[in-house]
Amino acid sequence: MATVTKTTATMHTGRSNKGHRRNKSGPRANGSSGRMLNDSAMTSARQNSTQTNKKYRHFAAVHSKLKTSCLSADAEASPSFLGFRNLMVIVLVVSNLRLMIENFMKYGVLICLRCHDYRRQDLLLGAILYALVPCHLFVAYIIELVAAHKAKGAIGRSKKTEDTNQSSEARQESDRREFQSAWILIAFAHGLNASLCLLGTTVVVYYYVHHPLIGTICEMHAIIVWLKNCSYAFTNRDLRHAMLHPHQSSTLPEIYSECPYPRNITVRNLTYFWWAPTLVYQPVYPRTARIRWTFVVKRVSEMAGLSMFIWIASAQYAAPVLRNSLDKMASLDITSILERLMKLSTISLVIWLAGFFALFQSFLNALAEVMRFGDREFYTEWWNSPSVGTYWRTWNRPVYHFMKRHIFVPLMGRGWNAQAASAIVFIFSGVLHELLVGIPTHNLIGVAFVGMIFQLPLIAVTLPLERMQGKNGKIIGNVIFWVSFCLVGQPLAALLYFFAWQAKYGSVSRPQAVPS
């Protein structure tokens, strides 16, 4: 037994010595890797020990700093609402899908294309109008070509007079009168051309185009081209004046030096303005370096999807609600009209928001990308408007820029006060809105015009709220804007124009699904 024990001890001792010898040779073979492994193991052990100790410390200070709820007004940073946006989209999709399934179960059809009165004459006239209206822009180009030739002739005669020392007051007065008479003729030609553009389309749509959607597209196109015509004429008039009076050319924007007047009077320059997503003419616009076709495909896909959603929501929800309101409107049942108005306000708001995104975010950005148009501020944060006036300055920037540049600022320059100039702007805008809604529906009842005029007292009421110190006034102003716009404005206008259409022509389509 003793022998066995001794032998075992000797074996262990031998192994230990061998291991010791291996450890001695280890540093020479592996360098610093052994030390690194040992240090890593020790560090890991310390971390595990520290984590184990922290795990059971019940006295850790959880509340150590001043913090606010992320939705509070005094929060340091605004939270992201991406999740709420996704939830809103899901709720909209599910609610409309439920309505579509219900209508399909009841009537066996989702949208009846044959039910709508798409007349062949409407399609033909719409196509002709859409092709002819842009021709007025090229008539404006010819007028400006003549005006530029006249301006060059005036400059040439002025230089010739100076060179031959034949300057006299009579000669200068004759040249001035000749130029003024030429400009009066040019202004008259521009006015006649632009008026025929809008007047011709308006007459054809009102008397010969029955379907309101086709009429709306034609009328909107004519209004856009008319506004572009006006901007083209006004801008070139001032550029021509600056050329004839060189001391005033220093006030021109620096960007215009890339294409000075009259080098901008070309078909190519006008064609770019025709397609550019703006209503304000400039000889030069900021341009991007290249076209991102992936961006264009995304925006076009958004526009197509939203257009389909608007069509389905209008047919499945808005149109039935409008039809169910006819008897209430005829009998002047105020309580029922208010109930229908509130029910219509939800879907009209959803359709309007979808249309806003499809037009201003998707379509205009896609068009700007194709045209390499650099300034894409087509809207700003109008949904946070603290007053009605801020909303009209931020939600449709192309129209706002036109109104400010060609109506508001010129009136202010002629001595008008801001309130009077704003009134003229809203009267002008009210006429355009009435044309855009009343002409295609064949009912010039003045609702759109009165609605625009009614914005003036709303602006006066909400302006002091916007200027109040703190956020309470701005919140109240924003609530007034949303209530007046979404609960009263759009739904009431839709009810009145639909009632006027039905009273004049009857149903535009055969009865479809009527949700309860």
Cβ-proximal residues to 253 (8 Å cutoff; 6+ apart), any chain:
none
What are the start-end ranges of the H helices in 73-134? 82-107, 120-132
- C-alpha to C-alpha distance for 204 and 221, rounded to whole angstroms: 13
Tell me the C-alpha to C-alpha distance, in Å, between residue 144 and each of 2, 266, 267, 300, 388.
124, 10, 11, 35, 39
Instruction: Please choose, from the candidates 309, 391, 386, the residue with its C-alpha nearest in 3D space to the C-alpha of residue 95.
Output: 309
So which residues are the catalytic ones?
A: 433
Using only the alpha carbons of the chain, give its radius of gyration. 36
pLDDT tens sequence for the chain (516 residues): 444 444 444 444 444 444 444 444 444 444 455 555 455 555 555 555 555 555 666 677 888 888 888 888 777 787 788 888 788 778 877 877 777 777 667 665 555 555 556 678 888 999 999 999 999 999 999 999 988 888 877 666 665 555 555 555 555 556 566 667 778 889 899 999 999 989 999 999 999 988 888 999 999 999 999 999 999 999 999 898 888 877 655 678 889 888 988 899 999 999 999 999 999 999 999 999 999 999 999 999 999 999 988 888 887 777 777 877 877 777 777 888 888 888 888 888 888 888 999 999 999 999 999 999 999 999 998 988 888 999 999 989 999 999 999 999 999 999 999 999 999 999 999 999 999 999 998 888 888 899 899 989 999 988 888 888 777 888 888 888 888 887 777 788 888 888 888 777 765 444 444 444
Instruction: Please choose, from the candidates 152, 150, 142, 141, the residue with its C-alpha nearest in 3D space to the C-alpha of residue 179.
Output: 150
DSSP labels for 305-322? HHHHHHHHHIIIIIHHHH
- Per-residue buried b or exposed e for 261-291, using 16+ beta carbons within 10 Å of the residue's own CB: bbebbeeebbebbeebbbbbbbbbbeeeeee
Identify the pLDDT of residue 217: 92
Q: Could you tell me the two tokens for 78? A: 């605004």
The burial of 57, by beta-carbon neighbours within 10 Å (0-12 exposed, 13-18 middle, 19 or more buried), is given as: exposed
- C-alpha to C-alpha distance for 19 and 7, rounded to whole angstroms: 18
Angle between helices 364-371 and 293-313 in degrees, nearest 10: 160
Q: Are 164 and 214 in contact (CB under 8 A)?
A: no
SS3 of the chain: helix, strand, coil, percent, to 5: 75, 0, 25
- C-alpha to C-alpha distance for 495 and 447, rounded to whole angstroms: 11
Instruction: Please choose, from the candidates 241, 207, 224, 341, the residue with its C-alpha nearest in 3D space to the C-alpha of residue 275.
Output: 224
Prediction pTM value: 0.77
Identify the pLDDT of residue 169: 57
- C-alpha to C-alpha distance for 95 and 395, rounded to whole angstroms: 28
- C-alpha to C-alpha distance for 378 and 357, rounded to whole angstroms: 11
How many other β-carbons are positioned within 10 Å of the β-carbon of residue 129? 22
Cβ-proximal residues to 492 (8 Å cutoff; 6+ apart), any chain:
341, 447
Sole residue written with tokens 């009210």: 430
- C-alpha to C-alpha distance for 154 and 177, rounded to whole angstroms: 11
Query: Cα 262 vs. chain centroid, distance in angstroms?
Result: 33
Identify the pLDDT of residue 55: 60
- What is the DSSP code (8-state) at residue 115? G
